[in-house]
Structure 1
Amino acid sequence: MDLEIYDNTNNGVSEKDTSLVQDVLEYAGKYLDLKENTEMSVTFVNNDKIKDINKEYRGVDRATDVISFAIEDGDDDFPVIMDDEMANEIPENIGDIFVSIDKVAEQAEFLNHSYERELGFLVVHGFLHLNGYDHMKPEDEAVMFPLQRKIMDSYGLKR
């Protein structure tokens, strides 16, 4: 997976944490059998920045833990016709995830598990949203949440 990680936090994110995010998302991509040249980004921010993003894009004036912006390729005004081999060579950008490291720490403490487990959980959660999974309806939640747990558990970030 072609993953870009950006650190827009006040104090910086450790190399250990960026490596964890890289590894868990690589694992999740293989788990979902995504093409190796799938592209996405993760941006680490603080609560103030994610609050601004949440307000602007969701109309919710509070900090949240993770926000996903999926790139949906539904523009078929001018479809490009190509064979399967050519289609597999073109990278697919699935979108961007923003994670509040402040919320990672707060929620890890509140839920009494490690910072690493919470960080992994949030990026996998956002990653699944980028891949079309949702939890707004009970039938969608019944698919997304067990998949999220399977990925986390098999990766080794059990609760």
Structure 2
Amino acid sequence: MISFNYETDFKLDDETIISEWISNTISKENCNEGEINYIFCDDDYLHQLNVQFLEHDTLTDIISFDYSVGKELHGDIYISIERVADNAKDFEVEFSEELKRVMIHGILHYCGFKDKTDDDAKLMREKENYYLTALK
């Protein structure tokens, strides 16, 4: 089950469509959907989590806590709406596209994809683009 939680004034327009898209992505990656929570917040909220749990004193757009068991995906995905908006401007893309990219990025991590090496990051970007296209 995918749920959307809000610690800021932001609200997704089409929760049902987005939820189905995420579910389809999980299925296509041969994983099973468990309990996945998206928490949309601001920079301060996410920065506090970054310092407290990861000991990183930096701003970030996403932090995910993966509680998956094998191929059954469970976790909490925190997304800073402020950071996504700034990144969208920097990358010259629509806010909604950048938000969806970040949302699917978290799921792809749960599916086992990494992005620490150049090759892994390239594959991650290809997967993101593939699933973004599937949503349109």
- The answer to whether the superposition gives a TM-score over 0.5 is yes
**Structure 2 counterpart of 1:62, from 58, 63, 68:** 58
Equivalent residue in structure 2 for 1:29, among 14, 26, 37: 26
Alpha-carbon distance in 2 for matches of 1:97, 1:117: 17
TM-score under structure 2 length normalisation: 0.85
Paired positions, count: 136
Cα separation, 2, equivalents of 1:4 and 1:99: 13
Deviations 1:68-120 (A, max 9, x none): 1111437xxxxxxxxxxxxxxxxx44211000011111111222211110110
- Aligned residue in 2 for 1:3: 2
> Does the CA contact (< 8 Å) of 1:27 and 1:155 recur in 2?
no
1:105 maps to 85
Identity %: 23
Q: TM-score, normalising length from structure 1?
A: 0.74
1:137 aligns with 2:134: no
Select 2:126's aligned residue among 146, 149, 154: 146
* 1:41-120 matches, cutoff 5 A: 41-73=37-69, 92-120=72-100
User: Displacement of 1:15 after TM fit?
Assistant: 4.2
> What is the identity, as a one-letter code, of the residue corresponding to 2:87?
Q
Alpha-carbon contact 2:31-2:111 (below 8 Å) kept: no
Instruction: Quote the RMSD (CA, aligned, Å).
Output: 2.3
Q: Deviations over 1:4-36 (max 9, x none)?
A: 111011xx223406456424323422332433x
1:137 shift after superposition:
2.2
| Runs ≥4 residues deviating over 6 A | none
With a CA cutoff of 8 Å and minimum separation of 6, indicate the structure with the bigger relative contact order.
1
Q: Give the AA of the match of 2:13.
A: K
Q: Who wins on radius of gyration, i.e. which is larger?
A: 1
> Tell me, what secondary structure is at the counterpart of 1:51?
helix
Query: How far apart are 1:128 and its partner, in Å?
Result: 0.8
8 Å Cα contact 2:73/2:110 also seen in 1: no
Change (3 A) 1:73 1:26: closer
Task: Give the SS at the match of 1:39.
Answer: strand
